[in-house]
């Protein structure tokens, strides 16, 4: 296909939005048509992201109202990178504007607003009413590797920790390899906490440090449980302890569970490899995966080890790419009928 598809980005000054801008700027068929930021409207994009200046010399942030006014093409793409509990209302406004202009708008949301199927579940976790419950049936949430075809008109991306857990848990549960009790330990880079500094994301606190937070109470765990149940028919008991790591980007996730029947590491690895056969961005590796082998890329590496009676699955991804912007572009490619790997197949730098 040679068609260039006009593309919009909402919520443009965060780290994920910066990665979306970078990926769209280098995409062979997505054409940036506008990026909004209510706080930075009227300023140049390269003031927020100086590293993007060569690709986005003249681009400036605009308001959401101005962004909606740019829906002038018959078909457009929109990435929503607004904050959690804000994105749904913004998306509702954008869909109304698209309908008024007879624009077919395809949306991938990278917030948490469309990861649950029920507004009550969202409110129970995020302690605020859902901003557009009538839109929930229009969104599906899963990794693209776990769903064939197009599951619906729009996608709610699972997010970074969730992506790493789902990559390991869905094969384990769907193939019936393990008991439903899963123990997860995830270590994430500081970019996973967003651009605004806090007491635990400030560099002197993260540097040469490692600490857990929200053990067994992390808000993304219920999202993972729901997606696993929908995809596998098994509702896992997920015991998740997240950690803050002393690096900027990447996630290392370790999942442990009791095997239903004794199996060797090679047997389990072969089953994981068969499960992900044909998946461009997931690689089951010999040995143990490392963050530096995937950071800066849309690839996911998985390692599998067995004691005979229990299994440990190690997953590494880049939290900003495979766990957010890259996974969102991968979904958008499929929704628009483009090659799924378009704009995403660059390897990891290796020494990032």
**pLDDT tens digits, residue range 313-322?**
999 999 999 9
In this prediction, residue 231 carries a pLDDT of: 98
- Asked whether 64 and 36 are in contact (CB, 8 A), the reply is yes
Residue 198's pLDDT band, with cuts at 50, 70 and 90, is confident
Q: What is the mean pLDDT of residues 111-125?
A: 96
Q: What's the whole-model pTM score?
A: 0.96
Helix axes of 160-174 and 265-275: crossing angle, nearest 10 degrees = 110
Same domain, 87 and 177: no
In this prediction, residue 204 carries a pLDDT of: 85
- Asked whether 155 and 329 are in contact (CB, 8 A), the reply is no
As for how many domains the chain has, the answer is 2
Residue 337 lies in a domain: no
Q: What is the mean pLDDT of residues 3-25?
A: 95
In this prediction, residue 254 carries a pLDDT of: 98
Task: Decide if pLDDT at 199 tops 80.
Answer: no
Same domain, 164 and 290: yes
Same domain, 129 and 214: no
Give the model confidence (pLDDT) of 253-310 as tens digits.
999 999 999 999 999 999 999 999 999 999 999 999 999 999 999 999 999 999 999 9
In this prediction, residue 70 carries a pLDDT of: 95
Residue 226 lies in a domain: yes
Same domain, 170 and 118: no
For the domain that residue 213 is a member of, what is the CATH number? 3.30.360.10
Q: The dihedral of CA 180, 216, 226, 185: what is its sign?
A: negative
Residue 213 lies in a domain: yes
Domain that holds residue 58: 5-140
Give the model confidence (pLDDT) of 150-171 as tens digits.
999 999 999 999 999 999 999 9
Residue 52's pLDDT band, with cuts at 50, 70 and 90, is very high
Written as six digits, the tokens of 119 are 């507004």
Give me the phi and psi of 79, to 5 degrees please.
Answer: -105, 125
Three-class DSSP category at 341: coil
Same domain, 173 and 68: no
For the domain that residue 83 is a member of, what is the CATH number? 3.40.50.720
The distance from CA 145 to its chain's CA centroid, rounded to whole angstroms, is 12
In this prediction, residue 1 carries a pLDDT of: 54
Residue 273 lies in a domain: yes
Same domain, 206 and 299: yes
> Which one, of 79, 92, 136, lies nearest residue 327 by Cα?
79
Catalytic residues: 160
Share of the chain above pLDDT 70, in %: 99
């Amino acid at each position: 296909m040679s068609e260039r598809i006009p593309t919009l980005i909402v919520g443009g000054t965060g780290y994920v939005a910066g990665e979306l801008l970078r990926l769209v700027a280098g995409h062979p068929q997505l054409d940036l048509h506008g990026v909004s930021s209510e706080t930075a409207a009227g300023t140049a994009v390269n003031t927020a992201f100086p590293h993007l200046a060569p690709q986005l010399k003249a681009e400036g942030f605009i308001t959401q109202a101005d962004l909606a006014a740019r829906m002038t093409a018959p078909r457009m793409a929109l990435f929503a990178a607004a904050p959690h509990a804000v994105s749904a209302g913004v998306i509702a406004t954008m869909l109304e504007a698209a309908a008024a202009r007879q624009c077919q708008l395809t949306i991938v949301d990278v917030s948490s607003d469309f990861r649950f199927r029920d507004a009550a579940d969202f409110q129970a976790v995020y302690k605020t009413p859902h901003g557009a419950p009538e839109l929930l049936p229009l969104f599906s949430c899963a990794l693209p590797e776990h769903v064939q075809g197009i599951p619906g008109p729009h996608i709610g991306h699972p997010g970074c920790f969730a992506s790493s857990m789902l990559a390991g848990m869905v094969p384990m549960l769907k193939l019936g390899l393990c008991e439903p009790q899963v123990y997860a330990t995830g270590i994430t880079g500081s970019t996973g906490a967003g651009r605004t500094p806090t007491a635990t994301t400030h560099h002197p606190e993260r540097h040469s440090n490692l600490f857990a937070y929200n053990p067994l109470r992390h808000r993304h765990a219920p999202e993972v449980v729901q997606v696993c149940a929908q995809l596998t028919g098994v509702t896992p008991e997920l015991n998740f302890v997240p950690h803050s790591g002393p690096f900027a980007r990447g996630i290392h996730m370790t999942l442990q569970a009791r095997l239903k029947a004794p199996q060797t590491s090679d047997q389990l690895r072969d089953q994981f490899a068969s499960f992900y056969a044909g998946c461009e961005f997931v690689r089951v590796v010999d040995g143990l995966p490392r963050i530096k082998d995937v950071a800066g890329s849309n690839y996911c590496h998985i390692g599998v080890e067995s004691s005979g009676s229990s299994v440990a699955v190690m997953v590494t991804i880049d939290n900003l790419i495979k766990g957010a912007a890259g996974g969102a572009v991968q979904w958008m490619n499929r929704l628009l009928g483009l090659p799924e790997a378009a704009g995403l197949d660059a390897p990891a730098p290796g020494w990032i």
